[in-house]
A and B are shown apart, each in its own frame.
Chain A
Amino acid sequence: MSAAVWTQSLRKEFTLGWGRGRVLAVEGLDLEIKRGEVFGLLGPNGSGKSTAMKMILGLLRPTAGRAEVCGNLAGTLAARKQIGFLPENPYFPAFLSGLELVRYYGKLCGLGGKALEGRVAELLSLVRLGGEAGRRPLRTYSKGMLQRAGLAGALVSDPEIVMLDEPTAGVDPAGSREIRDLIRELKERGKTVIFSSHLLEQVEDVADRVVILHRGQKLREGRLEDLLTMSGEWQVRARGLGEAQRRELHAWLVQHGAEVLGEGSPRERLEDYFLRNLPERERR
């Protein structure tokens, strides 16, 4: 079976016009994203993550190279039918309500009738915009609500591949955890998820594999486990040690020739602390 997304020597050069030169946004990018994988595109601002995604969608024409989606040339209808996309900082037609937005996107995907209405209602309640919130104009939404409405829009045609450009940007920790949970759920249902982010600690929790881009080029690629596991070191977390046993343990380690790099009470991540201290019903 063909890969979910496959690119070869993908390159994009923007011409600025009026003789102001060019910007090289992506260069020599080879990707192979398998079906059912959660794939992270990482990199600092301006490293070409969005540009790469837009080329995979056919919104931008590559200057050189080739991109395929499930074996179809990127940008063709067959290719775009496979992908649901959430752009970065999505701007939606503000005059629509959340409900109308998702319905409009469904119609653009060729859906209609009862099937569409059912799907829209289901998705809105999935992203917690059912009921009154879904009928308000998008103009009145908060950033997190907009992002969730956009997610529902991306999922409306039940695509095989879900592509999210910085889905957690500007979303609070609870919301961003929700999005990560959703990504996991999509994976369980066999979908391929491609997302970009520069919030690295959030990527760790969900991505199977990542590519790190820098100035449009691939810097590193691999499974997170392989990239991040420090196989030369060992870590133990324990509860119930007294002061005396701690000193004893330290002595034992030194005696056995280990170099002690650090010890002490571990600190919780601020994000976890924050979530733990929210009222129960908002934690989800």
Chain B
Amino acid sequence: MRESWRRIRAVAENTFLEAVRQKVFAVLLVFALVLLGGANYFAEFSFQEQFKFLKDLGYATISLTGLLVGLLGAAQLIPAEIERRTILTALCRPLRRWEFVVGKYLGLVALLAVMLAIMGAVFWAVLRWKEAQLIGLEGGEAGVVQAIQAESRDPRLWQAFALMGAKLFVVCGLAVFFSTLATSTTFVVAMTLLVYLIGHLQSVAREQWLESGEKAAWFIQLFLAAVALLVPDFNLYSLIDEIVAGNVVPWRATLEVLAYSVAYVAVLLAAAACLFEERDL
């Protein structure tokens, strides 16, 4: 058990190191940080609107960057290692295949977590900066200060942040899953994106499937059922939009979505490990 964990950690660390030494990720991060900082210069509206704008742009930036990191990272996963044949020198060691898969996933997740943490910290700083600016502009009336701080120090933002992390970790899980089947990096990126997009329509497919009854042709039913059962429901994460829009989302719902994410990733990784076990290298 200890040894197993040590090997998983070695794979994860190596994956993380590889990503860090590639300039793409640094460039992406810089780009995201510039966007986050630049968002502060739009100051034409009322302060509520300014915060709304900041949050919209901030979450869009962070989630897009995270998606790109997940996809690019996935491309560096198993298929690239097979293409470059570096996988042979790793898997001929006393390392179980599932340990390799889990290690790869954890390495990717660590990369994403670090990038999210940096972007989150910068986003937080930008909100505080806006707060200071606005208080300076609007004067120090207690009511106004309170209203501004309610926006800039809204604890629900962390809730949204956690949900976004969970969503991206599921995307990484998908990428790892496809990479155990694929031989090319393009396939992994394309399939992951496809499932990501379909995932947003999943709930529609599910309703259609449940309501279609006898009416629809069998193959349509089959297709809808497959989508409903296999594809993760990315609509669950629309709670993020609710929060950004200023609506109250109970923690209970948030935790349910987080639990769903963990379970989904676990199933994905288990399936990936099984498929990878039988594969010729």
| Interface residues, chain A, with chain B CB atoms under 8 Å away | 14, 54, 57, 59-61, 77, 80-81, 83, 85, 87, 89-93, 95-96, 100, 104-105, 107-110, 112, 150, 153, 157
Contacts and interface: CB of A to CB of B under 8 A. Distances in A.
A108 B11 contact: yes
Interface stretch (B84-92, B153-161, B237-245, B259-267): B84-92
B14 A85 contact: no
Given A77-B96, A80-B92, A87-B92, 16 more contacts: A57-B92, A59-B92, A60-B281, A61-B278, A61-B280, A80-B95, A85-B88, A87-B85, A87-B89, A89-B85, A104-B10, A108-B10, A108-B95, A110-B6, A112-B6, A150-B89
A87 B278 contact: no
The 7 A-B residue pairs whose C-beta atoms are closest, nearest first, are A107-B10, A108-B93, A85-B92, A95-B21, A110-B3, A81-B94, A80-B94
B52 interface: no
B7 A108 contact: yes
B138 to A, nearest CB: 51
B274 interface: no
A71 to B, nearest CB: 16
B85 A60 contact: no
17 contacts: A54-B88, A57-B92, A80-B93, A85-B89, A91-B84, A91-B86, A92-B89, A93-B86, A95-B18, A96-B17, A105-B89, A108-B11, A108-B90, A108-B95, A109-B93, A110-B3, A110-B94
B46 interface: no
Interface string B4-18: 001101110010011
A110 B7 contact: yes
Contact of A107 (B7, B84, B96, B281): B7
A253 B21 CA distance: 73
Contacts of B10: 104, 107-108
Given A87-B88, A104-B10, A108-B10, A93 B94 contact: no
A108 B5 CA distance: 10
Interface in B161-186: none
Given A59-B281, A104-B10, A110-B3, A95 B17 contact: yes
Contacts of B18: 93, 95
A221 B21 CA distance: 48
A100 B90 CA distance: 13
Contacts of A93: 14, 18, 86
Interface in B83-118: 84-86, 88-96
A144 B90 CA distance: 20
Nearest to B4: A110
A54 B89 CA distance: 11
Interface in B216-250: none
Scoring A77, A93, A96, A150 by chain B CB atoms within 10 A of each residue's CB, the highest score goes to A93
A88 to B, nearest CB: 9
Which of B3, B9, B14 counts the most chain A CB atoms within 10 A?
Answer: B14
B81 to A, nearest CB: 8
A111 to B, nearest CB: 9
Nearest to A59: B281
Contacts of A112: 6
A148 to B, nearest CB: 14
B274 to A, nearest CB: 14
A216 B112 CA distance: 46
Contacts of A80: 92-95
B98 to A, nearest CB: 12
A108 B14 CA distance: 11
Contact of B88 (A59, A100, A110): A59
Contacts of A108: 7, 10-11, 90, 93-95
B72 to A, nearest CB: 15
A107 B280 contact: no
Contacts of A104: 10, 14
Contacts of A77: 94, 96
A59 B279 CA distance: 8
B103 to A, nearest CB: 9
A81 B3 CA distance: 13
